[in-house]
Chains A and B, each alone.
Chain A
Amino acid sequence: MLIPLSVGLVLLILLGLWWAIHSGQFESLDSEAERILKDD
């Protein structure tokens, strides 16, 4: 029972990954980290 559930979960995760990559979240991994150093 749990096994088909895990399959479904992974497929959902893949969908989420697709969205994350194509909405540009992985473009620049450093600039967001540096943003906390801004004064304002």
Chain B
Amino acid sequence: MLTSVTTDTPNAPERQVLPELATTTARVVDDPQEWQAFSTPVAAPVATADPQAGEWSSYISVEGMHCAACALNVESALLGVPGVSRAEVDAASKRARVQWHAGRVKPSAWFDAVRRAGYDAIPAHDPVGRLQRQSETRLALWQWAVAGFCMMQVMMYAAPEYVYGPGEIPADSLRLLHWAGWVLSLPVLVFSCTPYWKSAWHDLKARRVGMDLPVALGMAIAFVVSSLATFAPGGWWGDTVYFDSFTMFVFFLLTGRWLTLRLRDRTAGALDEVLNRLPEAVQRQTEPGVWEQVSARQLRVDDVIRVNPGERFVADGQLLDVDTWVEEALLTGESHPQERRVGDQVLAGSHNLSQQVMVRITQLGADTRHAQIVGLMHDAALDKPRVGQLADRWAKPFLWGVLVAALAAFAYGAAQGWPHAVMAAVSVLIVTCPCALSLATPSALIAAAGRMAREGVLVRKVQALEALSQVDTVVFDKTGTLTTGLSGVERVWQPHLPSTGLAQPQPEAAGLEVTTRHAWAALAAASNHPVARAVASWVATSEQPLSHGVTSIREVPGEGLEGEWESPTGLQRLRLGSLRFCEAWPGVHVPESARSATVHVVTEGQWWMSLLLAEQLRPDAQATLDALQAMGLTVHLMSGDRPEQVQRMAQQCGLDEGRAHGHCTPQDKLDRLRQLQAQGHRLLMVGDGFNDMPVLAGADVSMAFAQAVPLAQAHADVVALGGRLMVVAHLIGLARQTLSVVRGSLMWALAYNFLAIPVAVLGGLPPALAGLGMAASSLWVVLRALPLNKTPSQTHSV
């Protein structure tokens, strides 16, 4: 389960956090074994030194900073902790580097210092990914700088030839100038052109024509011809050198590439932040019946762990106690649930679907989740929506056409002499820019995804942006989506109390003994359903051992939980759930006054207690619904909760009564969805996936909030961290904007090519201008995408 997430208003209730998790955070970051994940030791290598004794350099992600002054605040907060020797905070990337001494301070101390200053700190989990991106960026910067400096100097050497007529410069001076141009074009050839050589080489090996092949060909021809003209000026290749054109168009190309890389970097950085989490906490058995919460990293082979429905299996293992259904879509692509029986293997990264199970670990791997999600993000980033795929399909025949046009230019220009012909061919090769066709879509999508990532929204499938732009209906789940979840018990009904029930009671006042509370907590903790979580946190005591003689726990989706309890008075079967579920036992009757409660607890033959859970609409729910309706979208609300409650919430946020449906089973929701789709509507489903997985999967686009079960997060097209519902409206608006930018860019790219190629074929385009044209068109397409990345600036009040 995740811990704190920023909320909008000071009075907004926070999500329920089970008591043990607050200390889990501290336990986890103070564990020396965890340090490797986000820190590197400073002086001696870890093998020789005791990890407790040395200096460590840690990277953390800081949330809540909105300007440079915040960065300074965080820095001084960190430096104020004794034992911290250095702290550098970068406001742009929201990262901080902290150097501290393990013998003098524990990480939780300086994590707390950051929190006390009003910000949130999370270990940055990707030292490897970050280093790799850093070295890639540095290389790209180097290549660009080399091209830039050499271009400028080569221009100086070429200038005299532009100014003076032929024959006016003494021959040996001319040769010197050419030689100098050649020398300084070498670094460009060797360093700056390598991305193109590599890409062209791959294309040749794969026997296909890629985007960079014509460019590489053009570069090679220009350089070779110019070199020949420098050292052997008498041949058929003429004696004009084109080093200035060569370096210039390399520079322009790299400028376009550099900007694209920076954009990609910023987006990847934002996405990485969003993926940074505390390491997963897992329940591990220390002795039979006794469980402790540990970080997933501390698990060893042969440990026995407990996994709830909706949670992920963190390691390969063998099922010990009950059969269950699992889902391995992230691993095998198989989205149908698979049954696993006692004794079967379950795989790391798959999700548990139906029952709480015990698993003996057989194999541990590297942190598969982070790698998995990052892998998914990379794939998702490379996936292109239909529009982009169309462009790719055209790119191939287009490129063959380019080669043909180059030959035609050569043939046409041969009439004016070989040098002209060669240069005309080079111009054609360089001026055509299919990369604009293939750059238009990714640059817009990445810009949009990066902007959403800054708002805490992870766009997992980039195709989702295209679908989002066409959405005309939004369906919300209620609990945890439109509302902030269940935040406490408002009313309690019991057998021997007045029919109005007790208002705002504590468990002790309701007459629950400690053993009973432990039993209920154990039962409720076996599910991630919001109602179960709320009950669990209400009855939780300060010391909550994690097992209380409640066994054979079974969850019925949409209904409730059932278990067997070894109570002091004997073995009792308990049920916790909806009215229908609880009254299914003969003899159980819930009195009239309690029938509208949210959840009921019964034993066989007797009603025990009913609880009404308080629920609050998200602060921005009304504003979001208004915004969505203003954008022309229809909004529906579907929930499994009681209709009266659903109607009440709908009224509170201005939703039409006819569009709010209560008592929806997962099948009902799916049916309504299909009905709407059959009418031609395109749907965005926003929910927490609990019991809704088929509905999330069935919608055109699905969105899960961070409190959703890991399974829903893994499958939803979009995951929203943070509690702001407005991101739904922002996302749809941005998606529409993105698609229009993509279409516009494709039109520009097409128009440019249709105009430029004929001119180049007819020999009217010098190579330098060709380079400028190509780079300009790539740049233009990327620049059109940049506004998508900007957060709208706030208007200043006078």
Contact = CB atoms under 8 A, between A and B. Distances in A.
A3 B177 contact: yes
Interface in B182-223: 183-184, 187
Interface residues of B, number: 26
A3 to B, nearest CB: 5
Contact of B180 (A7, A26, A30): A7
Contacts of A4: 176, 180
Interface string A1-40: 0011011001101100110011000111011001001100
Given A34-B68, A37-B68, 8 more contacts: A3-B176, A6-B156, A7-B153, A7-B180, A7-B183, A14-B146, A21-B141, A22-B138
A27 B141 CA distance: 11
B157 A10 contact: no
Interface string B618-630: 0000000000000
A27 B149 CA distance: 20
A26 B90 contact: no
Q: Lowest 9 A-B CB distances belong to which pairs?
A: A34-B68, A3-B180, A10-B153, A28-B90, A17-B145, A21-B142, A7-B183, A3-B176, A7-B180
B149 A38 contact: no
B275 interface: no
Contacts, number: 57
B71 interface: yes
Nearest to B75: A38
Interface string B51-90: 0000000000000000011011000000000000000101
Interface in B133-163: 134, 138, 141-142, 145-146, 149-150, 153, 156-157
B interface majority secondary structure: helix
A29 to B, nearest CB: 9
Interface of A: 3-4, 6-7, 10-11, 13-14, 17-18, 21-22, 26-28, 30-31, 34, 37-38
9 contacts: A3-B157, A6-B153, A6-B156, A13-B149, A21-B141, A21-B142, A26-B141, A31-B91, A38-B72
Nearest to A28: B90
B93 interface: yes
Contact of B149 (A14, A26, A28, A37): A14
Interface string B158-177: 00000000000000000011
A38 B68 CA distance: 10
Contacts of B138: 21-22, 26
B93 A28 contact: yes
Contact of A30 (B92, B146, B177): B92
A13 B92 CA distance: 29
Given A7-B183, A14-B187, A28-B92, A21 B71 contact: no
A39 B453 CA distance: 33
Nearest to A13: B149
A14 B184 CA distance: 11
Contacts of A28: 90, 92-93
Contacts of B184: 7, 10
Contacts of B71: 31, 34
Contacts of A30: 68, 91-92
Nearest to B146: A14
Nearest to A9: B153
Contact of A10 (B69, B92, B93, B150): B150
A17 B142 contact: yes
A3 B71 CA distance: 49
A38 B73 CA distance: 10
Given A10-B184, A21-B138, A22-B138, A31 B92 contact: yes
A3 B180 CA distance: 7
A18 B68 CA distance: 29
A34 B142 CA distance: 25
A37 B72 contact: yes
Interface string B89-112: 011110000000000000000000
A30 B69 CA distance: 12
B186 to A, nearest CB: 10
Contacts of B91: 30-31, 34
B265 to A, nearest CB: 11
Nearest to A23: B138
